[in-house]
Amino acid sequence: MDKIYVSTYGVAFSNYELLKKQIIGFKDFKLGIEYATSWKDPDFYEKLDAQIEIMRGIPATIHSPFVEICTVPGSAEEKYMEEIFERACGYYKAFHATSMVFHTNEGAFPESEMKAKRVRVREVLLRWHKKLSRENISMTVENVGYPLKKNLLFDYENFIRLFDDLPNEIGCLIDTGHAMLNDWDIEELVRTLGSRIRGYHLNNNDGIHDSHYPLYDREGYYSPEKVDSMLRTIAAYSPDADLGIEYAPDGRFDTESLYSDIRRIVRVTSGTLNK
């Protein structure tokens, strides 16, 4: 499993010069980049547009915009979502990406609306799947939401069930940090969904906040041993999945520790950690 992508989150969706140094400075094999396609920085798009030429030749995946997809049909929010997601499709083509991940939702909903909102999310995902299929864009759907934000629309069972309702062409992406926050059994989830999982966002946290710690952070909710066990299960049941490194730009890692984590991930998933 050496299809590894480093998220632009690690450089605050801004310091692309540092990110390129990290990518080309790693000599073991070719790393890729996962590009976020929206952020609150008013200069975000100008900065991202400049990377199309600067990063040419580097493997890429795309993260769809961080806006609500579970909108009211015909609303201004739906129109905005459609427009900004169209822009993300343009970046997919410009960066020659190989997949684009969608969040199921962003905000919280009253308990009385949860069932209807899950139906709505399915409708939106299916509509986008039809469009993306025509444009040869591969699509994955990520688990999101956690107790502190009270925005868990798809709990463990409903998240698994979602993929029974979606075409097999739509892959699953597991964010390990989000799963930890909800106390999901990640290894059982991986065994259940198997090769339907086409990608991962690898990160750790404190068990309360979506803090995106490095996988092997000494204060992580998952110990290094538990992380290793999780990675071995990932390798066994979804060996072709992309692995995304999604760490926060909070000073917990630097370039060398990033490389160290990547090398350990490769050793664990290849079964050579202790050899």
**Average pLDDT of the segment spanning 15-30:** 98
What is the spatial distance between Cα 31 and Cα 177, in angstroms, rounded to a whole number? 21
What local confidence, expressed as pLDDT, does residue 72 receive? 96
Number of domains composing the chain: 1
What local confidence, expressed as pLDDT, does residue 272 receive? 83
Residue 20 banded pLDDT, cuts 50, 70, 90: very high
- The model's pLDDT over 58-97, given as tens digits with 9 standing for 90+, comes to 999 999 999 999 999 999 999 999 999 999 999 999 999 9
Tracing tokens 């399915």 back to the chain, one arrives at 122
262 located within any domain:
yes
DSSP 63-84: EPPSS-SSPPTTSHHHHHHHHH
275 located within any domain:
no
**Average pLDDT of the segment spanning 15-34:** 98
The CATH number for 9's domain is 3.20.20.150
Range of the domain at 69: 4-270
Largest CA distance in the chain: 58
What local confidence, expressed as pLDDT, does residue 273 receive? 75
- Sign of torsion, CA 125 127 130 135? negative
182 located within any domain:
yes
What local confidence, expressed as pLDDT, does residue 138 receive? 98
**Average pLDDT of the segment spanning 102-113:** 97
What local confidence, expressed as pLDDT, does residue 274 receive? 66
What local confidence, expressed as pLDDT, does residue 164 receive? 96
Cα distances from 70 to residues 82, 90, 104, 146, 184, in angstroms, run 11, 22, 8, 17, 23
pLDDT at residue 41 tops 80: yes
Tokens of 268: 């664990």
CB 84 within 8 A of CB 67: yes
96 located within any domain:
yes
What local confidence, expressed as pLDDT, does residue 74 receive? 96
What is the spatial distance between Cα 151 and Cα 105, in angstroms, rounded to a whole number? 8
H or E stretch at 124: helix 114-134
**Average pLDDT of the segment spanning 171-191:** 98
- Across 23-37, 102-116, 122-136, 261-275, least confident range: 261-275
Residue 1 banded pLDDT, cuts 50, 70, 90: low
- The model's pLDDT over 220-266, given as tens digits with 9 standing for 90+, comes to 999 999 999 999 999 999 999 999 999 999 999 999 999 999 999 99
Q: Report the percent of the chain where pLDDT is more than 70.
A: 99
